Structure 1
Amino acid sequence: MKEISCKLLVIGAGPGGYVCAIRAGQLGVDTVIVEFGKPGGTCLNVGCIPSKALIHAAEEFDKVAHMAGGKDPLGIKVAAPTLDLATTITWKDGIVSRLNSGVAGLLKKAKVKTVQGWATFRDGKTVEVETETGTQVIRAETVVIATGSAPVELPFLPFGGPVISSTEALALSEVPKKLAVVGGGYIGLELGMAFAKLGAKVILVEALPRVLAQYDAELTRPVLKRLGELGVEVMSGAKAKGLSTRGDALLVETADGKNAKIAADKVLVTVGRKPLTEGWGLDQIDLDRAGRFIRIDDQCRTSMRGIYAIGDVTGEPMLAHRAMAQGEMVAEIVAGHKRSWDKRAIPAICFTDPELVTAGLSPEEAKAFAGEIKIGQFPFAANGRAMTRQGEDGFVRVVARADNHLVLGIQAVGQGVSELSTAFGLALEMGARLEDIAGTIHAHPTQGEGFQEAALKALGHALHI
């Protein structure tokens, strides 16, 4: 049995884990990272990156299909397009492979030792790793748990056969003719809309009264309009009950209590994600939990000295950039720097059509927090760049305190607004006031002007509406 010792051991090479290890290596900390699969974790391999590749392919196919149908206002006419999804998936896999190699190269550059295998705790300082060449024992002064999360499986719709998770959906070689999506959150909407654009007949089944329930109704209205244009049927207030005997249909209890059968080649279950806390020997150490998640403080320390936890295993929001920020912070703490964690300025993006971005507090949350507030909202229908991109649906909204104009939250819905998320996060991080945003010169013509105009609107003197 081989044995190695290190100052820092990171378990999991997803976005949080690999960033933590790279930063620690840069700071001269003797670091080992353990990963069972490929570097990059869920986000790079079966999540953020491959889903955005599929969404982009779907957008391009949908554009060409409209041109072929003679519905393009730009006057572009083409022959009817066809899709080879297997080729699309090969292209997506090529991107993932390049990024895998990039992460591995960055770890090597930072002098981080990578151990391939499954890690199990012996105690708070010792881990066993089952590798291809045998058991490797690693002793560390400090351990970071970055094991991530996995799709939630419904007991009456177990994964297998026609029932798939987002992982399998991103590896299909053919577009299903009929796709039932169980769960109307951001994953279900992103993939459901993409497959609708690729030619699938999509039905969304959501138990809550409306889809994208974590966003306010005004923000999601343009997305719901687009769902209708794509022919996506939305069954809200409906509960999935299981598969039909033949496995070719989804059984549903509708909002009025009736039973329905939805014909489907594939049933995509997207009802959330759960932390990966099983199989790591966590029963050998005593960590406090916050529900299903590992409890952490504002420095990502767990209840055991010398053990940190970062990313999805620590709870919401389950975002790759949250994990990355936590990983970088923990590496610097281990290296002796003074750091703490504040999640108020984390943007969250839903890559639907159109896209949704939120950062900070919603109007309702801001009212509860600060009392009287000011809201400025600017529509993309009044933005020249949005019009030239055929993206007039949507708006930018800024929420601020009424007394001192401190910006508390920013939201947007529209084509390409994901690229505005950095500006939103920066404004919150820097403690911007409405006057700061309004007084910053925004380039013309860009959709970013909508941010400035929303601040001007909150101050009572928008220029273009």
Structure 2
Amino acid sequence: MTRTTQAQLVVLGGGPGGYSAAFRAADLGMNVTLIERYARLGGVCLNVGCIPSKALLHIAGVIEENEHLSELGFSAQQPELKAVQQYRDQTVERMTTNLSAMAKERGVTVIQANAVFEDSQHLRLTQADGDESLLGFEQLILATGSRVVELPFLPNDERIWDSTDALQLSTIPPRLLVIGGGIIGLEMATVYRALGSTVSIVEAANQLIPAADADLVRLYQRDNNDRFDIRLNTRLDSVTAGQSALNVTLMDAQDNAENADFDAILVAVGRRPNGDLLQAEKAGVNVDDRGFIGVDEQLRTNVSHIFAIGDLVGQPMLAHKASHQGHVAAEVAAGESARFTPMAIPSIAYTHPEVAWTGLTEKDAKAQGLNIRTAAFPWSASGRALASGQNTGRTKLIFDADTDRLLGAGLVGAHAGELLGELTLALEFGASTEDLALTIHGHPTLHETVGLAAEMASGTITDLPNPRAKKPAPA
């Protein structure tokens, strides 16, 4: 007979959304059981995503900085691959160990198992040894995340990678092809180029990072045209696995074919939610054809005692979105009246230079028919950027032309993502051009470019020619 246990609140998935939900619910006095299929908490983000990739990008950034310093007469050796791997693993280990300690401190019961629905009140758990049991719940928060999109026509070959494979750094291929010019593809291209690969990037759309504004991406691409072989409006048609190389056929927008050999291929064409893996129909939870689960502002599914958060509930698929949704779902489950209604969710490509945005992009605002105006400050006029050798950059603000209210912001440049905190807060508070322009920013800093862009919009700029300056009356 299958044994059955009971829990007040179950959280399914131990990633940033799941553990945030579990810890918040425990802090509110709930009895919480957290189910995670892997041995370590943290999900994709901590184990094979955000954290290891940022550790590697930090090293890539140091290498990039050394390249700049070499122009000034400094020299540094390329790091050993084993040391890079150890740094990555130590970073992940510190964070996952901390999560386990916090779960124990809060009294959260952690069970390692795969889980699917048995019905609307029970999950069927399968542990690594095949042992099965039923876990009943009063309330449930689904936080099972997403998985990489696979290209079914590719051969089964160890030289064809997804992002998890790429993070292993098992080898540094002399010739690497990256399929997909989104954030994940460009970040991994940045790492492997810094470590010695010659990298080609293929993107089916007409720009890299399709979600971002084209003017920002053009600056990024201009700074990287000599680092990568970038092919836009190009698709992967076929791959033949040879003994010494992977032979690839690429097709451009006019269906012209090109053949080339590569030593490894990274497929980074996106992720899909795991809603289709839960057997949710047994619980009556609606899952659409793409695997997404619909929720309301309180993160409730169509079954009122079952919540869903993170990648399961739609774009953007970002850890910080999942964490905040986890807090809301936990608070609602505990009887509070929380809602998830953010004005903005920041996005960052941790490339060199970084590309970052928050709120509405210019193209999204135009698509919504909004009457907007924009103001941009070039980092070539920023003292801090120039002194740091990081003058490729721009800070752009997007305002409602009728109300002067900030609608969004986009940046490209070194550490651009660090500037989104002020801008996202400004969006949440409904800041205007004047609010930002009159805020005194430290000098010389990169975040000073936010205030200077606002001064461009308000007509008070003195660091550049002022297009709204008044002309003196004729004598």
**Mapped pair 1:143 → 2:140:** yes
Query: What secondary structure, in the 3-state scheme, does the structure 2 residue paired with 1:106 have?
Result: helix
Q: Distance in 1 between matches of 2:193 and 2:307?
A: 42
**Mapped pair 1:12 → 2:13:** yes
Alignment correspondent of 2:451 = 452
Alignment correspondent of 2:470 = none
Alignment correspondent of 2:174 = 177
Query: What secondary structure, in the 3-state scheme, does the structure 2 residue paired with 1:241 have?
Result: strand
* Count of residue correspondences: 458
Is the Cα contact below 8 Å between 2:437 and 2:455 reproduced in 1? Answer: yes
**Mean Cα deviation higher: 350-359 or 26-35:** 350-359
Deviations 1:138-168 (A, max 9, x none): 1111111100011100011256411100100
Is the Cα contact below 8 Å between 2:280 and 2:286 reproduced in 1? Answer: no
1:236 is aligned with what amino acid? L
Query: What secondary structure, in the 3-state scheme, does the structure 1 residue paired with 2:275 have?
Result: coil
Matches within 5 A, 1:51-450: 51-67=53-69, 70=70, 72=71, 75-78=72-75, 81-132=77-128, 134-157=131-154, 160-230=157-227, 232-246=228-242, 248-292=246-290, 293-369=292-368, 371-450=370-449
2:118 is aligned with what amino acid? R
Query: Could you tell me how far 1:291 is from its partner in structure 2?
Result: 4.0
Query: Could you tell me how far 1:88 is from its partner in structure 2?
Result: 0.6
Q: Distance in 2 between matches of 1:309 and 1:161?
A: 35
Deviations 1:422-457 (A, max 9, x none): 111111111111111112221122111111111111
Is the Cα contact below 8 Å between 2:299 and 2:329 reproduced in 1? Answer: yes
Q: Distance in 2 between matches of 1:442 and 1:107?
A: 40
Query: Could you tell me how far 1:62 is from its partner in structure 2?
Result: 3.1
Alignment correspondent of 2:473 = none
Q: Distance in 1 between matches of 2:6 and 2:241?
A: 55
**Mean Cα deviation higher: 146-155 or 198-207:** 198-207
Q: Gaps spanning 5+ residues in structure 1: where?
A: none
2:392 is aligned with what amino acid? D
User: How much identity, in percent, do the aligned residues show?
Assistant: 35
**Mean Cα deviation higher: 370-379 or 396-405:** 370-379
Is the Cα contact below 8 Å between 1:86 and 1:174 reproduced in 2? Answer: no
Could you state the TM-score of these two structures normalised by the residue count of structure 2? Answer: 0.92
1:240 is aligned with what amino acid? L
Q: Gaps spanning 5+ residues in structure 2: where?
A: 465-475
Task: Write out the 4+ residue segments of structure 1 that deviate beyond 6 Å after TM superposition.
Answer: none
Deviations 1:216-247 (A, max 9, x none): 221112210122131x1111122112212515
Is the Cα contact below 8 Å between 1:250 and 1:267 reproduced in 2? Answer: no
Is the Cα contact below 8 Å between 1:346 and 1:359 reproduced in 2? Answer: yes
Q: Distance in 1 between matches of 2:18 and 2:444?
A: 40
Query: Could you tell me how far 1:285 is from its partner in structure 2?
Result: 2.1
Q: Distance in 1 between matches of 2:327 and 2:155?
A: 36
2:257 is aligned with what amino acid? N
Task: Quickly say closer, same or farther: Cα 1:171–1:245, change in 2 above 3 A.
Answer: closer
Is the Cα contact below 8 Å between 1:180 and 1:262 reproduced in 2? Answer: no
1:282 is aligned with what amino acid? A
Query: Could you tell me how far 1:97 is from its partner in structure 2?
Result: 1.0
Q: Distance in 2 between matches of 1:179 and 1:131?
A: 38
Q: Distance in 2 between matches of 1:158 and 1:39?
A: 32
1:266 is aligned with what amino acid? A
Query: What secondary structure, in the 3-state scheme, does the structure 2 residue paired with 1:294 have?
Result: coil
Query: Could you tell me how far 1:96 is from its partner in structure 2?
Result: 0.5
Q: Distance in 1 between matches of 2:67 and 2:453?
A: 35
Is the Cα contact below 8 Å between 2:342 and 2:428 reproduced in 1? Answer: no
Q: Distance in 1 between matches of 2:315 and 2:157?
A: 27
